[in-house]
Every structure is written in structure tokens, then in C-alpha cells.
Structure 1
Amino acid sequence: MVTTVGVLALQGGVREHVRMLESLGARVSRVRRPEDLERIDGILLPGGESTVIDRLARSFGLRDPLVARLRAGLPAFGTCAGMILLADRLADGAAGQRTFGGLDVTVRRNAFGGQAASFDALLDAPAIGPGPVAATFIRAPIVADPGSADVLASLPDGRVVAVEQGPILAAAFHPELTGEDRLHRRFLARARAA
């Protein structure tokens, strides 16, 4: 059976995730309206601008139905801004910014600084699989407090950059930009099992 996963397509790096998921055999649906949530087995929240995605989700009436699906156990994977949106708590959210929640973590936005502070790294992350994880950080968040989530990857200095809790997975970096597909595979396995 083909798994249908949604990619939240309000703003941000949608195309790269669609390509990655399709290359792994998933049917992909772009999610822009509440009714788009009815036909998916999981949802990917891409990087972009978390405050813009939050505002657009509210404007399109998508926020509350998405929060309800996440609370009901919809598998999810968030990268960068997607991680911010899946956090239950923000350490430094913009005025009025809300998250969708689902991960018992506290996330700090733009933890490494602005665009000029973006960087690539190879992460030692045995929980994700053998060999280093190629990661691109662009105005990336960090997990300031992992709460009850399991830590999947950290930088050498100990800052947490990937977590999972139940059916929800999140990374501060952009694996879709480096061809790193292990996190997407992990997400698809959860969506197929749901």
C-alpha cells in the first residue's frame, strides 16, 4: 500500500521535501486547507519562517484541525521552522507566536544567529543510524530543553538538534538539502504504521 504524506505547503522549503519523500516511494499531498488533512497518513512541516507559517495556518483555518490531528496521533516530522512549530514551548517566540505542539520540548528560535551564521556539520548520531549525519543549519533553532522527548542528535558541544517523541520527529537542520534521507525514512515508517 502506498503511504500518502502531507507536506505543509504554506511557506518554506516544500519542494525539496516533496522530492525526497517521492524518491522514497511515498505519495505526497501539499497541505494548504483543512480538508487536505483528511487524506494523509503523516505530515511534514518544512523549514521556512515559523512566524509566517503560524499566521498563515491561522488565516487559512488550518491551525486548529492540524493541532487536533497531531493530538490524535498523526505522525509528523518537522525540520528547522517545523521543529519550532511542533514544540510545546518556545524560549523566545515572536510576540503572539503560537505553535502546533506535540513535542514536550522547549525550542529556542535562531539559536545560532542570522543567515550569515548558517553552517554545515557532520553529526555523530547513532540513534539515526551508522555513519555521520550530514546537516545544514540555516538560522536554526536548538532544543533548549528536551523535556520527555528522546534525543536523536546533538552537536559536539551538547546542544540538542534532533528529537523524537511517539509519532513525532523533529530536526533543527535541513537533511533534505544534503541528500540525508534517514530521518525521512524514519518518518515514513511511522506514517506507514499509523
Structure 2
Amino acid sequence: MPAQPVIGVLALQGDVREHLVSLAECDVIARPVRRPEELAEVDGIVLPGGESTTMSRLLETFELLEPLRKRLVDGLPAYGSCAGMILLAGTVEDGRPDQQQLAAVDMVVRRNAFGRQVDSFECELPVIGVDGGPVHAVFIRAPWVESVGEGVEVLARVPDIPSSGVAAGRIVAVRQGSVLATAFHPELTGDERVHRLFVETVRAA
């Protein structure tokens, strides 16, 4: 692993610039990834928030779906936020029948759970592995995790506070091996601690 690992951000749709800015604060080389040859050069990949069905189609259009699946199987560290979490899931509820999954995390995710239940939502969220107190978590028509397999570590659940409603107790951050996923958008808050957690994973891979 070089002193400065190269971390790509899937740059087909979504919060690409915000992730690149957050990663730049973490002493890594951050690059947009749009082509298979760019994917081949990275030590880790970020799948940004956006619209998961659109991103799924664009992965196929840009011939990135199978190369990305192969690299994930081979152990490429990955981090997905919101729509990225949906793409990484093994199973998606309320998804489109033709939606492609990367199946890198053994979890069942409900698409747009916050969008249909409690709309956009923000809270102070303790996250296992993130030091310095809770992160300010922003959920925008976000998914939540219905269930996880044995190999998946739950890093965060929505706290039981008056504003959380039906989301209270729902799983919103997980890790399986070198793959991290959150239902919220740390790239929108200016707090790069979740990105630093991912960078630590990349360096350890």
C-alpha cells in the first residue's frame, strides 16, 4: 500500500464532488471513476448518494458493473452512502425488479425507507469506530437495514428520540470485512470522520 492510497469515487451520478472533498481531507489521493481502467487503478472505492436505480443502470451502461463486482469479490475496500448502501446490499426491498446489486454486504435494505416513512431526518448518531462523539447524520429519502447476516457488524442504529418516530432502532451503518455502508450522508456535513474510518480500512487491506 502506498503512503497515499488512491481512493476512487464512482462518478456516474450523485454526491461525487462532496465525497472527493471529504477524502481530500484524509491524506489520500481521491479520483473520480467513470471507466473500467480508472477502477483498476484504485485501492478503494466510494459509492455516493444519489438514486440507486439510476446508478445501477449507469454501471451497466459504462461497463463498470462486472469489473466492480469482480474487484469487490477480490477484496477491494468499498464505502457506500445512502444509494451506495443500497447497491452494496445483497437484497433490496421496494427496489425495481431490474435493479442490479453488487451483493458485497449480507444485508436486506429497504429502499427509500426514510422517504416514505419520516421524509428527511437528521440526528446526532453514535457510530462504532468513529471517535470524538456522535456524528451529525443527515438522512435524505434514505434506506435503512432490515436485517444482517452473521458476518456483518452493526455500527449504528437510529436513537430513540422524539423526532425519530418509526425509524427508532433501525440499523443505519454496517461493516462487513473491508466494506462499509451508511444510510446517511457524511459527505454533506463537513465532518470527515466516517471517511477517515474508511481510509483506515483501505490502509489495513
Q: Report the TM-score when normalising by structure 2.
A: 0.90
Q: 1:42 to 1:94 in 2, by over 3 A?
A: same
Corresponding residue number in structure 2 for 1:166: 177
Q: 1:65 to 1:113 in 2, by over 3 A?
A: same
Contact 1:127–1:153 under 8 Å retained in 2: no
Q: Which runs of 5+ in 1 are unaligned?
A: none
2:69 matches 1:67: yes
Corresponding residue number in structure 1 for 2:195: 184
State how far apart, in whole Å, the 2-side matches of 1:102 and 1:48 are.
Answer: 19
Task: Give the secondary structure class of the aligned counterpart of 2:40.
Answer: helix
State how far apart, in whole Å, the 2-side matches of 1:79 and 1:172 are.
Answer: 6
Q: For residues 71-150 of structure 1, what are the structure 2 equivalents within 5 Å?
A: 71-113=73-115, 117-148=119-150, 149-150=152-153
Q: CA deviation at 1:21?
A: 0.2
Contact 1:117–1:138 under 8 Å retained in 2: yes
1:21-70 Cα shifts (integer Å, max 9, x gaps): 01111101111111111110000000000000000000111000000000
Among 12, 21, 33, the residue aligned to 2:23: 21
Contact 1:128–1:152 under 8 Å retained in 2: no
Q: How much is the aligned-residue C-alpha RMSD, in angstroms? A: 1.5
1:123-170 Cα shifts (integer Å, max 9, x gaps): 133443341111000010000112231000001221000000100000
Corresponding residue number in structure 2 for 1:152: 155
1:95-115 Cα shifts (integer Å, max 9, x gaps): 211111210001000001259
Contact 2:115–2:140 under 8 Å retained in 1: no
Corresponding residue number in structure 2 for 1:54: 56
Contact 1:115–1:138 under 8 Å retained in 2: no
Contact 2:109–2:143 under 8 Å retained in 1: yes
Q: 1:116 to 1:103 in 2, by over 3 A?
A: closer
Q: Which moved more, 1:179-188 or 1:113-122?
A: 113-122
Identity of aligned residues (%): 53
Task: Give the secondary structure class of the aligned counterpart of 2:97.
Answer: coil
Task: Give the secondary structure class of the aligned counterpart of 1:20.
Answer: helix
Task: Give the secondary structure class of the aligned counterpart of 1:117.
Answer: coil
Amino acid at match of 1:141: P
Corresponding residue number in structure 1 for 2:163: none
State how far apart, in whole Å, the 2-side matches of 1:160 and 1:116 are.
Answer: 15
Q: CA deviation at 1:180?
A: 2.4
Q: 1:179 to 1:105 in 2, by over 3 A?
A: same
Q: CA deviation at 1:189?
A: 1.2
Q: Which moved more, 1:175-184 or 1:100-109?
A: 175-184
Q: Report the TM-score when normalising by structure 1.
A: 0.95
Q: Which runs of 5+ in 2 are unaligned?
A: 160-167
